[in-house]
Structure 1
Amino acid sequence: MNAVAQVYGVGLCCPLGKSLADASNAYAENEHNFVKSEKGPVGADGASVTLSCVMPFEDVRNFELRLQRLFAGAVDDMSATLTITSGPVAIRIVVPRWLASHKIGQSLMSWIGETWPTLFTDVVLLADGDTLAAYELVKGLRQVAEGEVPAMAIAALDSYMDAELLDILAINDRIYKRGTPHGLVPGEAAVIVMIGSNAAFPDASPIGTVRSAFNGFETENLSAPQGIIGRGLAKPLRQAFEAFQPDRFLVDLNGERWRSEDLGFALSGALIPDKLLSDFETPLSNTGDCGAANGLVMTAFALCSPADTIDHDVFAGDDHERRPSLSILSTSHFEGPRCVIALERYGREN
């Protein structure tokens, strides 16, 4: 017998706020947290690098400690709104590829298990690019629905706030700066999405679920494309808009040219309402690029953004009850994976 798999809690720690509530309010106000610090890193031209930080770069130079504080912030945020009484749950954390096999990553797994033994067990790091955080969310919900597990946490964690990581971005001309207008603003984030069945959270109200997912893969070498970029995203995006009529459309544009080309081609083949086509949301333009956490950052905003980020048509009837809103989220990875999900946010009374 299949269970109903739903999202019961979200914890977020990102440059817009150290909680989902604060970050959502900042996102609704179209705020940014882009800074150039005199004590922070400088580029090859001697100019300060524009960053989007949760903690000032110069305040936490120990990268392992920075990751711990980011993750702890997401745990605190989730725990403030959701009580887990059924015992610790398995957690999958999508991280950058280098971290998944690095000693810092191994230490991080041990630290999480030792710090929150009543919350998490079976801590696993997954390499971004081999998978996507959005895909892991879909996979986890499927496992809950099929009765393999009663509950599970899907998380993502990433930060560019390290001199060596910033140098790698700069060497590859990926950082937004003078002379590189098609670049990203390095950011950082930790996100935790708690999913489960009704039996696992009898005293909690679910906040949403994934209605469907559509996957693709870009075969062009984005470093040296020989043809058109975007075929890998075009099919799943077209399928999503054929199957659903969403209220919101969120994409992971971050300033890099390849993402614009990828999405531009995909949009040309999808039947997207003019209203959404001219006004899709780009959360990473507010948070900066959060690497492996991009997909779940978008998911968090889709699940818990204030009402004024959603069209007033989602409010219906004299009882002032908000009907469920549906968002389509499009995510792409440089190494090829593409994932488009239809995410339903449940209604709440005003």
Structure 2
Amino acid sequence: MSDWLLEVEDLKTYFPVNKGLLGGKKDYIKAVDGVTFRLKQGETLGIVGESGCGKSTTGRSILRLINPTGGSVKFAGTEITTMPHSELRKLRRRMQIVFQDPYSSLNPRMSVSAILNEALSVRDHFLNLADRKEQVMDLLQLVGLNPHLADRYPHEFSGGQRQRVGIARALAVQPDLIIADEPVSALDVSIQAQILNLLQDLQKRLRLAFIFISHDLSVVKHFSDRIAVMYLGGVVEIAGKQQLFSKPYHPYSQALMSAVPILNPSKKRERIVLHGDVPNPANPPQGCTFHPRCMYRMDLCKSVRPAPIEVETGHVVSCHLYT
């Protein structure tokens, strides 16, 4: 048996687009292009990067909400990219997702009780009415909501309360892994900390593994054990959060870290400003995808894609500067 709950190897997800006036030729947007990482039970991996870098597509591809184009995803040692849908439905009970927008991720025509009952029926078809009602109450208490609110509808809740309902729905099937896709970005800052603390408490209590997707570095640092930095569909660096924030190796990671505000005004940090725009994922650069914006680029970077290399224990970077 593997020590890893989740093993993602060279994951690719391409979206076809038509070219030309008659659409006779096809091109591909390489939303995810060779992502590799592993995750243990009870661990949190944060995924950060600019908008459009492939963070959310990576999460959805792991769950096969979007079918990946290539690569391997193993959950508890079982390959899921080629798994029949009948078997995948059973396995998905162990893998859940909390979406970014609590306003659109809940059915407005269903009460909270009905939403949670639907999830409970997926886990156990034979639960009687009394047991379901009791478990709905327990789920609401678990996420910090008053059980007496069970008969209300989503529009009667605040954004933070709706997100708690979304978390309760994910927990209803007793998963081992939760993919949290920007779960606090649509919430007020005052509510964000409450939701993050709730997720951390649930993780300790239930020994959940998390993939935490966000563009907010401070939020990811607070919540994650390890962090993967994505750029244009690929992971350019992955390390423990203290390793990454204290000594980022990849030039893109260095630029990201330089943008994090420092609370102590006496400390100064040189701001690294990247020039140019993110390349088109339908036509990514050859070699290192970051080389058009990199201040350290070499001729090798323009033609050869860098292989991941472990520069320190548990600290992997894809950059020719360290090969």
Instruction: With the length of structure 2 as denominator, give the TM-score of the two structures.
Output: 0.27
Pick 1 or 2: higher relative contact order, CA cutoff 8 A, min separation 6.
1
Instruction: With the length of structure 1 as denominator, give the TM-score of the two structures.
Output: 0.26
